[in-house]
Structure 1
Amino acid sequence: MITIKNDGHHSKAYDNDLSTRTTNHIYLHPGHHSGEFENWMRKIGGVLQINREYSQLKPLLDMIIALLEPSRLFLIPHPSIERFDIKSTVEILLVLNHRQDCNHEKLVERILNVACMKISSVVINIFFDDKWNSETEYEHSYYAAHCRSKFLIFSGSPYRIQELDQAGIKRVQEIITNRFQNQIIKSKAMLAQFEGLYNDHISSDLLYAISLACIKQLYRMVSIPFLLDLPVLNRSYTELRRMATRIIPLVQSFPEKNIELYPIWDNEELDEDTKRDAYLPSFADLQKYFEILKTAFEQKLATLFDNEINQK
């Protein structure tokens, strides 16, 4: 049984029967004049107290919870990258009830897009209960790293999250890190080949094919370590970009050249230099993109596993 003690300023939950199956996830400061309904809501689920720096998200979170009634809601910060003038973002992982919402995913996305219209620094990833629970149970890299109580800000479920112990977290961290390092090696090798061909002033058609392959490899570099969706080798540019965005939210706003439009305008009467400048990235562009993604991924690893790293 859960007992909630409230002194008007702080709420504490005590697990009287030491149950390992239920928990209370509420850390709001309700005050002394809360009604019966509010008290009942706190006993079954509610928004956790969030850091002051995220207080501007409270209205958005309240609206999401009221409209969509999620099973879980996680918040993961992504630090800024000052040397590339990239601002910090907040990633919200929204776990919905599959039976209720699977047929309305597009509608849900529209609601969230409208809700976030004035908050460009927020990115929301949607998952569904059935897959989330099964993948967490099988220690899937992505879910094991993200589905953790330290990122939980709302729970509509009375059951504890299935979390790995310290040894399990360390194992997942090592697996993800090793995969990432392997992808860095592949990305650097491809960039080196691209640099030589780019400096040789090859035709724009060949440059398009090679630069597209490089960008897709950079997306794999941040997607494969978490094994979010396999196989990824033969995915299209758009699919890989979407997958990479789920890992590194800044991907969706990164100012790429219009490489996808190159095949459309290929038949236009444009000279080689014009086509290269308008639609194709330079080696400097790809090198910068590599550094941004590498830095962002390393920062995310630090966010996900910071406590575990410090305990080594």
Structure 2
Amino acid sequence: MSNNNVNGTIRNFNNGPVKTDHQTTNHIYLHPGHQSGEFESWMRKIGGLLQITAEAAHLKPLLDLLFTVAEPERMFLYTFPAIDELNLEPCHEIRLVFREERIEEVSSLAGFVKLASFKHRSLIITLQSNTDFEENLQDCSDDSVLCFREEFLVFSNSPYRLRTCTDEHIKLAYDSAMHDFNRYYNEGVAALQASKMLLGDKHYYQAYSLVVRVVEQVYNAIICAFGYSFKVGLKLFELKKKAAQYLPQLFCFDYDLAEIEELSLLLVNREQLRFDSMLGSFDSTLGITEEFMAAAKPCFESKLNYLLNYSKGGNNHG
């Protein structure tokens, strides 16, 4: 089965029909009457753990437990490399895709998942509904092209194979995600410098307000690169949760942004705001933000380079 990329679009060249209903969009259905050998091979794999790399072999008991108890539709595994200059250790992400009606039911397993993974440091487990998963595939979002590939698939309970993207198409998604991130991130860098100038002139309210906007900008840089939509009107901790879905390695280590989140809530609640008591109390948030931004960019670039260069046979490099 081969796929060719022509002008950024994907064409499927296989003898089986391509399903296009909302449940199977962008999946190649391997009908028994067409390429039966490949169909039978795939059907034998359904419902069991697919081959995993040596670097993730220690996670096999946990993966077995997750698909046995949680029964996802699909399970993806990513191992993001260490970032030595930031003292960030390697980080594993397990992404579970569930049918829409099971998301709330599965969310109640949070305690079980935490217990099941307590032996593994730097492990993040994220959940996604099958509806969102299919929509991302249909839209050919950068997230789907880079992340939803069979190279990362470790469990499938579906007879529908994932679309295969060409190297050219993956590189286009990489360039697009990097461009979107840099655009918003660089705006945040400029705003942070303006905040420092305002603080130097003792314009505390303006400086504090702007530094909160800077952190929001970094979160949105991460979100927009993978999810396309700029989030407005969310509390800072809610925005952080959204960003953590796309860049878990950055948020599974100790970057304490609690002071900035506290500041953002104070600034929003104008009726109870006593600004005279805040003067000088949050000057440290500028340094915290600068340190966080210095980690966010290389962490984002490391993830994208991993996704671009990954191959299950090896040669994975940043």
Q: Check whether TM > 0.5.
A: yes
Q: Is the 8 A contact 2:223 2:230 kept in 1?
A: no
Residue 302 of structure 2 is aligned to residue 299 of structure 1: yes
Q: Residue 61 of structure 2 aligns with which residue?
A: 59
Paired residues in the alignment total 273
Percent of aligned positions with the same letter in both sequences? Answer: 25
**Residue range with higher mean Cα deviation, 211-220 or 262-271:** 262-271
Cα displacement (A) at 1:213: 0.7
The code of the aligned residue for 2:212 comes to: L
Cα displacement (A) at 1:168: 2.7
C-alpha change, 1:23 and 1:114, in structure 2 (3 Å) is farther
Structure 2 residue matching 1:80: 3-state secondary structure:
coil
After superposition, where does 1:159-238 map in structure 2 within 5 Å?
159-203=160-204, 205-227=205-227, 230-238=229-237
Q: 1:4-46: per-residue Cα shift (whole Å, max 9, x none)? A: xxxxxxxxxxx99635984746xxxxxxxxxxxxxxx954332
Residue 155 of structure 2 is aligned to residue 154 of structure 1: yes
Cα displacement (A) at 1:272: 3.3
**Residue range with higher mean Cα deviation, 112-121 or 292-301:** 112-121
C-alpha change, 1:216 and 1:21, in structure 2 (3 Å) is farther
Q: 1:118-171: per-residue Cα shift (whole Å, max 9, x none)? A: 433111111122221232122122122210011111111222112333343233
Residue 9 of structure 2 is aligned to residue 18 of structure 1: no
Structure 1 residue matching 2:285: 3-state secondary structure:
coil
CA RMSD of aligned residues (A): 3.0
Q: Residue 241 of structure 1 aligns with which residue?
A: 240
Q: Residue 87 of structure 1 aligns with which residue?
A: 89
Q: Is the 8 A contact 1:222 1:297 kept in 2?
A: yes
Q: Is the 8 A contact 2:124 2:252 kept in 1?
A: no
Q: Is the 8 A contact 2:196 2:207 kept in 1?
A: no
Q: Residue 31 of structure 1 aligns with which residue?
A: none
Q: Is the 8 A contact 1:208 1:259 kept in 2?
A: no
Structure 1 residue matching 2:57: 3-state secondary structure:
helix
| Mapped partners of 1:21, 1:137: distance in 2 | 24
Q: Residue 37 of structure 1 aligns with which residue?
A: none
C-alpha change, 1:16 and 1:49, in structure 2 (3 Å) is farther
C-alpha change, 1:20 and 1:183, in structure 2 (3 Å) is farther
The code of the aligned residue for 1:297 comes to: F
Residue 112 of structure 2 is aligned to residue 106 of structure 1: no
After superposition, where does 1:212-291 map in structure 2 within 5 Å?
212-227=212-227, 230-249=229-248, 250-253=250-253, 254-262=255-263, 263=266, 272-273=279-280, 275-276=281-282, 280-282=284-286, 284-291=287-294
TM-score normalised to structure 1 length? 0.76
Q: Residue 75 of structure 1 aligns with which residue?
A: 77
Q: Is the 8 A contact 2:81 2:302 kept in 1?
A: yes
C-alpha change, 1:220 and 1:152, in structure 2 (3 Å) is same
Q: 1:267-310: per-residue Cα shift (whole Å, max 9, x none)? A: 5995734x226xx513x3222211211001101110111169x9
Structure 2 residue matching 1:150: 3-state secondary structure:
coil
| Mapped partners of 1:307, 1:113: distance in 2 | 28
Structure 1 residue matching 2:151: 3-state secondary structure:
helix
Structure 2 residue matching 1:294: 3-state secondary structure:
helix
TM-score normalised to structure 2 length? 0.75
| Mapped partners of 1:267, 1:85: distance in 2 | 39
| Mapped partners of 1:305, 1:20: distance in 2 | 30
C-alpha change, 1:77 and 1:119, in structure 2 (3 Å) is same
| Mapped partners of 2:230, 2:40: distance in 1 | 37
Structure 2 residue matching 1:242: 3-state secondary structure:
helix
